Structure 1
Amino acid sequence: MPVTSAPAAKPAASPRRLLWHRLIFGLWYRPVDVLDEARDRSVWGAAMFLSLLCGALGTLGKDSFWVQWGVSPVLALEAMAIASGVTLVATLFLGAVTHAIARRLGGNGRFAPTTGLFAVVFWATDLPRLFLSTWLPVDSVPVRAAASVTAAFGCVIATLLIRGQHHLPTHKAVASVAIQMVAAVALLKFPPGSA
């Protein structure tokens, strides 16, 4: 009787590539699915792109940039580049602090996905306010309304991110993101003197 070999096991399918537009815009209409899909991925490229873009948009919304532009466009662009770089470093620092707090509270997530996704969540949810602030005064009603809505939405998505990445209960996930989000919202979305 001939011996038949067992059928070879099919190789595990590689995960579908997560394109930037699906990651960034998907956070707005299907955040849980997108965060699940991105859970073990390092999204450094998207995080750096968003941080630099939002740093540039934030600079465009400041009157001081346009005053400097009238004097010297080169110096104004250099100031924008510096602001974008500082924004990138500060955002990654916030993500690293969030990861460290989550680990202290019993989380088990990895550093790279947590930090990169935190940066993406933080700036992707802030894009509407930044676009508005490039055209309207920072203390106008539409900009302040957008700041309130995007701040609340960003806190919710950041909490979902930490809860999923670190397998923490909701109250510990909130504790992991609360201090950084409140400080960043107060300084960036409602800066002193904007009232």
Structure 2
Amino acid sequence: GHGGQGGHGEPEYFGDGGYPHGQGGAPDPYAANNPGHTQAFSVGEDPYTQGETYQAGAAPAGPVGPRLHWKALLRGIVLSPGQTFLQMRDYTMWGPALVVTFLYGLLAVFGFDGARNDAINATLSNAVPIVLTTAVAMVLSSFVLGVVTHTLARQLGGDGAWQPTVGLSMLIMSLTDAPRLVFAMFAGGDATFVQALGWATWVAAGTLLTLMVSKSHDLPWPKALGASAIQLVALLSIVKLGTF
């Protein structure tokens, strides 16, 4: 990994020709945030690396390993996160990220006591829209939070691509909170045990997010934690307070 200063002053690594790289008080180190700058990119391209990462399916440094199958990916996030995040930093994983987050969202209704009672007491035709709306809302909010985390990581000098960062952050958020939801379905979100489990899984989410950002963006962990902070605070409010 780079040292503290390593991420800066290497424009040739980014291959972006001449954006300032955060020297001192440069107004915006990543010009992709400037108005009009994002229009030029097609949907599949990364506005930061201008799609170069995906031309050969590898970052300039070369991929750490082959793309993981979704089962190996999900297992790896839980059992060997460091290796998994490093290996997947060059690959997109929209399929697993969207499916897992959507399934998580379907369960999420049962984690909020108000919505849970509505869904359980509603007839099926009324419950389906409640559940589907919640699931779509969870997918969208986790996507937005992932983008926020990625943008912050870039501002802090990270060099990762946005699609793997967002995909992994969606998976981390869903997988870590799933155990709490499973118990909340039976015991209710307010049960002491479920609350305690929620805190434990939230800490796990913070640990995994920090590790992922640090691997994906080649950042020291304090910066990685800083980049994950907004997502973690949002998770806390969604998960612990049950407020949307």
| Shorter-chain TM band | 0.7 to 0.9
CA distance in 2, matches of 1:16, 1:180: 28
Q: Which has the larger radius of gyration?
A: 1
Q: 2:230 aligns with which of 179, 183, 193?
A: 179
User: Mean Cα displacement is larger for which, 27-36 or 15-24?
Assistant: 15-24
Check 1:76–1:37 CA distance in 2 against 1; reply closer, same or farther (3 A cut).
same
SS of alignment partner, residue 106 of structure 1: coil
Aligned to 1:52: 102
Q: 1:154 aligns with which of 201, 205, 208?
A: 205
Does the 8 Å contact 1:41/1:113 carry over to 2?
yes
1:1-195 aligned within 5 A: 15-61=65-111, 62-191=113-242
TM-score, structure 2 as length reference? 0.69
User: Mean Cα displacement is larger for which, 66-75 or 95-104?
Assistant: 66-75
- Give percent identity, aligned residues only: 29
Gaps of 5+ in 2: 1-61
Instruction: List, as ranges, runs of 4+ consecutive aligned residues in structure 1 with deviation greater than 2 Å.
Output: 12-17, 60-72, 189-192
| Aligned AA (2:103) | L
Aligned residues: 181
Cα deviation 1:42-75 (Å, max 9, x = unaligned) = 1111110111111110113445444455442112
Check 1:45–1:93 CA distance in 2 against 1; reply closer, same or farther (3 A cut).
same
CA distance in 2, matches of 1:63, 1:13: 46
Deviation at 1:17, TM superposition (A): 4.5
- CA root-mean-square deviation: 2.1
Does the 8 Å contact 1:69/1:75 carry over to 2?
no
Check 1:69–1:129 CA distance in 2 against 1; reply closer, same or farther (3 A cut).
closer
Cα deviation 1:125-168 (Å, max 9, x = unaligned) = 11111111111121112211110111001101100110111111
Deviation at 1:36, TM superposition (A): 1.9
User: Mean Cα displacement is larger for which, 153-162 or 21-30?
Assistant: 21-30
Cα deviation 1:99-147 (Å, max 9, x = unaligned) = 1011011111101111111101111111111111111121112211110
SS of alignment partner, residue 42 of structure 1: coil
CA distance in 2, matches of 1:50, 1:22: 14
Gaps of 5+ in 1: 1-11
More helix by share: 1
Does the 8 Å contact 1:162/1:176 carry over to 2?
yes
